[in-house]
C-alpha cells in the first residue's frame, strides 16, 4: 500500500505571495491532518479534515486554510506569505481521525522557504 505523499517537496516563494500544498493520504483513510514544523516552535497542529469537512483547527491565523476532496486528497493554502511561514509542512492521514486508538501516518513534508 502506498504511503502518504506530499507535493511539491520543496518550494520557494516571496513575501505576499500565496501557496498551495497537496497531500494524498493512504488509500482508505478518510482523515487528513496538517502540521507546521519550525526549529523554534516544533510541530504544531494546523487543522484536520474528515470526509471533506474541517473537523478540528489549531491556533493559526485565517491566512492558513485547507480543503479536502471526495477522494480524501487534501490541499492547504497559505495566503499573503510572511517570512515566518518558512517551515516544513507535514500532513498525516488515518482511518478515522485523531482518536486515541488511531495511528497517524505522516508524509515526507513540503519544505517552504519564504524570501
* Residue 18 contacts residue 114 (beta carbons within 8 Å): no
Beta-strand relationship, 110-114 and 10-13: parallel
Residue 2, Cβ neighbours under 10 Å: how many? 8
Stretch that binds another protein, among 10-18, 38-46, 64-72, 77-85 (CB under 8 A): 38-46
Q: Of the candidates 19, 32, 76, 109, which one interacts with another protein according to CB under 8 A?
A: 109
Of residues 61-100, which lie at the interface with another protein (CB under 8 A)? 90, 92, 97-100
Q: State the nearest-atom distance from the C-beta of 111 to another protein, in Å.
A: 9
Q: Which is nearer to another protein, 61 or 108 (CB)?
A: 108
C-alpha distance from residue 112 to each of 51, 55, 73, 115 (Å) = 27, 25, 20, 10
Q: Which of 4, 15, 6 is nearest to 85 (CA)?
A: 15
Q: State the nearest-atom distance from the C-beta of 24 to another protein, in Å.
A: 14
Regarding 22 and contact with another protein (CB under 8 A), the answer is no
> Site residues (CB under 8 A) for another protein?
4, 33, 35, 42-46, 48, 56, 58, 90, 92, 97-109
Amino acid at each position: 500500500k502506498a504511503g502518504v505523499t506530499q507535493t511539491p517537496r520543496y518550494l520557494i516563494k516571496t513575501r505576499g505571495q500565496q501557496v498551495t500544498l497537496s497531500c494524498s493520504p493512504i488509500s482508505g483513510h478518510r482523515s487528513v491532518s496538517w502540521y507546521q514544523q519550525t526549529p523554534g516552535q516544533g510541530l504544531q497542529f494546523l487543522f484536520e479534515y474528515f470526509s471533506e469537512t474541517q473537523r478540528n483547527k489549531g491556533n493559526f491565523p485565517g491566512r492558513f486554510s485547507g480543503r479536502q476532496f471526495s477522494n480524501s486528497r487534501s490541499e492547504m493554502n497559505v495566503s499573503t506569505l510572511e517570512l515566518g511561514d518558512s517551515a516544513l509542512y507535514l500532513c498525516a492521514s488515518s482511518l478515522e481521525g485523531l482518536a486515541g486508538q488511531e495511528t497517524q501516518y505522516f508524509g515526507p513534508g513540503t519544505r517552504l522557504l519564504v524570501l
